[in-house]
Amino acid sequence: MKPAIVLFALLFIAYESVHTASWTANITDIRHAATLIPGRRPLRITIQKFAESRRTKNFSVKGAPTEPSVQARTAFQVVYADGTVMVDSGMDRQVHAFFGRGVEEPYDAASAERVQRAVDRARLIVVTHEHGDHVAGVIRAANASTLATKTILTRTQVDTLTTTPQMPEIKLSPDLARRFIVVDYTDYYPVAPGMVLIKAAGHTPGSQMVYVALESGREYLLIGDAAWHMDGVRQVTGKAAPWITEDEPAVFDQLRWLNQLSTSDPNVVIVASHDDEQHKDLIRRRLLREGVE
């Protein structure tokens, strides 16, 4: 992933499919967009878990039993032969405390530090959405001004973070906001060989999914928080957490599309950011590698 290729991605006019009133996506168009930046495709994807939120499953999947369920706090690393791209950036202990809502929950400081080092070394950083556990590792870093210059945010993500952030700790100052690579696209946006952003407002106004096609031919969809648990995709069922506000029709469209894709194209590995059970299974099956490099 040469610097010139990254520059090409930043200057690229977004590849667009036919836009409709309701949310939809087309995997054929996404695959085509993934070919538009030349170069070797990535070799693998790693995942780093650095914290947990302890919930009952009915919050993550509407109608599910009130049984214990772990929401993993994670970041993903897309590994190329000559560099890495980070998908989400972790968070510090103070931001983690926000999600506990007065309850102390597990936070692995050593793993969080590994995420921060991976963010520091990355060629490029993208975030699935503008919530603290996904973007704080850039905004609150000691070297935030430097990290911002290699972090892509969408215009909507910047607007949310500057005007209505999830918490005061991640509010973007005007000066820091100007340092980010800010893009605005309609449907799909190639950022590196084999890697495409997919606009998916719903969980937040600036939510997006990340498609990754490896050299091996294996494909991944990192869906952020479109679903907190893969049962939401399997059952086409949204969340029931009273502390969040989503565009529910858009999220339902996304879950329905993801469900159809999962049954029609098993080559595509759909990964939810917080599904601890799924992550352990994908690591066991060697579809994800545990620990950032």
- The mean pLDDT of 12-39, rounded to a whole number, is 78
pTM assigned to the model: 0.92
| Sign of the dihedral through C-alpha 23, 183, 210, 217 | positive
Question: C-alpha angle 271/142/148, rounded to 5°?
Answer: 60
Question: What's the CA gap between 92 and 137, in Å, rounded?
Answer: 7
74 token code pair: 């994670």
126 token code pair: 């993208």
Q: Work out the pLDDT band at 100, boundaries 50, 70, 90.
A: confident
Is pLDDT of 73 > 50? yes
281 token code pair: 């299974």
Q: For 128-155, how does the pLDDT look when each residue is reduced to its tens digit (9 = 90+)?
A: 999 999 999 999 999 999 999 999 999 9
What is the domain-level CATH number for residue 151? 3.60.15.10
Is pLDDT of 3 > 50? no
pLDDT at 4: 42
Domain containing 87: what range? 3-290
Question: What's the CA gap between 293 and 288, in Å, rounded?
Answer: 13
Question: What's the CA gap between 139 and 153, in Å, rounded?
Answer: 11
How many structural domains are present in the chain?
1
Q: Work out the pLDDT band at 21, boundaries 50, 70, 90.
A: low
